[in-house]
């Protein structure tokens, strides 16, 4: 992903109540959660575990551990059958995807 000046602005700010819910995440969990949100926002689909591992410069198994911790804490929902089966729990975060110009 190309870093841009507007990278910080692409994620909708959480309400104060929702922001408090993110406090109990460890720094690595917060980083992975933010990667998932950014990926969905920019690419319009969830990342695979291998893509998360590549972005974090980790092994695939480490990324799987962190994603499973986020699932246990109910920040994300994971479908075991699909490779892109990661979804955000809308109780914590809601992503609004804006379509690019020239697309329907």
Nearest residue to 85 via CA among 48, 54, 59, 56: 48
**Does the pLDDT value for residue 62 go beyond 50?**
yes
**Does the pLDDT value for residue 16 go beyond 50?**
no
Q: What is the pTM of this model?
A: 0.71
Residue range 69-97, pLDDT digits in tens: 999 998 999 998 888 999 988 776 666 55
Fold of 14-88: Arc Repressor Mutant, subunit A (1.10.10)
Structural domain boundaries in the chain: 14-88
State residue 98's pLDDT score: 58
Residue range 27-60, pLDDT digits in tens: 899 999 989 989 998 998 999 999 999 999 999 9
């Amino acid at each position: 992903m190309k870093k841009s000046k507007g990278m910080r602005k692409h994620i909708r700010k959480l309400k104060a109540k929702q922001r408090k819910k993110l406090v109990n995440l460890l720094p690595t969990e917060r980083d992975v959660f933010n990667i998932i949100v950014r990926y969905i926002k920019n690419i319009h689909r969830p990342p695979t575990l291998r893509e998360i591992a590549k972005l974090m410069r980790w092994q695939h198994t480490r990324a799987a551990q962190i994603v499973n911790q986020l699932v246990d804490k109910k920040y994300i929902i994971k479908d075991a059958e699909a490779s892109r089966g990661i979804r955000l729990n809308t109780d914590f975060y809601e992503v609004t995807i804006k379509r690019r110009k020239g697309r329907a």
